Amino acid sequence: MTDVKSTDIQVSTFENAMRQFDRAAGLLKINPGLLNIIKRPRRSIILELPMMMDDGTYRLFKGYRVQHSIVRGPGKGGIRYHPDVNLDEVQALAAWMTFKCAVVGIPFGGAKGGIVCDPRKMSKGELERLTRRYTAELMDVIGPDQDVPAPDVNTDSQIMAWVMDTYSMHQRRTETAVVTGKPVAMGGSLGRREATGRGVQFCVRAMARHLGQSLPGLRIAVQGFGNVGSVAAELLARDGCKIVAVCDVYGAIANKSGLDIPALLKHTATTGSVKDFPGSESIDTKSILTTDCDVLIPAALENQITEENAALIRARVVAEGANGPTTPEADVILAEKGIYVIPDILCNAGGVTVSYFEWVQDRMGYFWEEEEVNQRLELIMNRSFGEVLALSTAHDTTLRVAAFMLAIQRVAEVIQLRGLYA
């Protein structure tokens, strides 16, 4: 994902997540005490990570790992490196992971981690030392059967390789299943890098079918041109969609006739930004959300669509490639405008689904061809979209509320079957 800065840093992301939870829970006949157990994080860990920098100075970095739930299986969730990482954000992201895994029916709970740092200002050696220190501090709480990290904002397969190696060295054996999103050469899965963006593609396809729209000519705007946004744009362009506007942290560009996405990908690989792309006009970064389009894909950070700008959204569909891009207040406004929101816990679940595939392949020591990975992902995404849509129709509610209802029911069922150990 691209690190577009949140429009309102005062918003409590965890509180927003819990408000989404409460709205859905109010439609379910579940004991309030049980609901409270489901809501609260199981464990929140705050770390102080000392490190020597390349210039010989010492620095202390703050790190986090939150395990929201391990009821349905090991915790699952990424590690992000960003200057704005904080406990509130990590707790919210861990909670969303719990419900995301439940929506798509994979046997994981929810977790998330992060380090307060700016990786763009750090050398590769500094990033490696910081990653290894963070991993070493979490040796007792992560593992294939406990908590399985993955890449997130500003982390990648190389970071995951260092996590896996550090964990393996402490365990005195190679343990590939401790993380997902690794390089394919060391136990990663084919199709994992594209999985989140591909999941967005499958959801946009499913919504188009539901609305009776054809993909060719569908106008799409993408906020955030990192891994998720760029892959979604590339795949949807192959479907015949017109990508009319995109942005990253450095700028925003538009072309009403559609941007040449293959050429744009080459441009960003060379320059590091979408800025100054030939055949496009520069637009204000904030205006990307209010672009005249059929589908808006927010694929940046949390709290991007708020009560301040929701009324200006002109898309018919918002497909949430990012985690928590829409605040509860904005949700109400979008619903009143008749805009369909494909919620994050469904729309961007392709990444964790293929992470599950990677974990399975690592544990059995047998790896699938990319075509099989993509087919399995499409099956799960289409099934999950259909289940959420059916629940939304039955209860005359939004897709987000329906997705949370489905997830809460699945978590509550397992808690009741397992019972509470005392």
Residues across the chain: 422
Beta strands in 55-117 (DSSP E): 58-69, 75-82, 110-116
Residues 6+ positions from 116 with CB-CB distance below 8 Å: 61, 62, 63, 82, 83, 84, 85, 86
Beta-bridged to residue 11, according to DSSP, are none
Q: Which of 47, 70, 69, 48 is nearest to 58 (CA)?
A: 48
Residues 6+ positions from 208 with CB-CB distance below 8 Å: 214, 215, 218
Tell me if 151 sits within 8 A of 79, measured CB to CB.
yes
What SS3 state is found at 195?
helix
Burial of 31 (0-12, 13-18, 19+ CB in 10 A): exposed
Which residue among 39, 76, 100, 112 is the active-site one? 112
CA torsion 70→227→237→293, rounded to 10°?
80
Using alpha carbons, list the distances in angstroms from residue 50 to 47, 57, 61, 346: 10, 11, 6, 38
Tell me if 39 sits within 8 A of 29, measured CB to CB.
no
Question: Is residue 256 annotated as part of the catalytic site, yes or no?
Answer: no
Q: How far apart are CA 373 and CA 325, in angstroms?
A: 28
Biggest CA–CA distance in the chain, Å, is 65
Q: How far apart are CA 277 and CA 120, in angstroms?
A: 22
Residue 287, number of CB atoms within 10 A of its CB: 15
Number of H-type helices and E-type strands within the chain: 13, 12
Element (H, E) at 90: helix 87-103
Dihedral sign for Cα 129, 130, 136, 142, please.
Answer: negative
Which residues are the active-site residues? 112
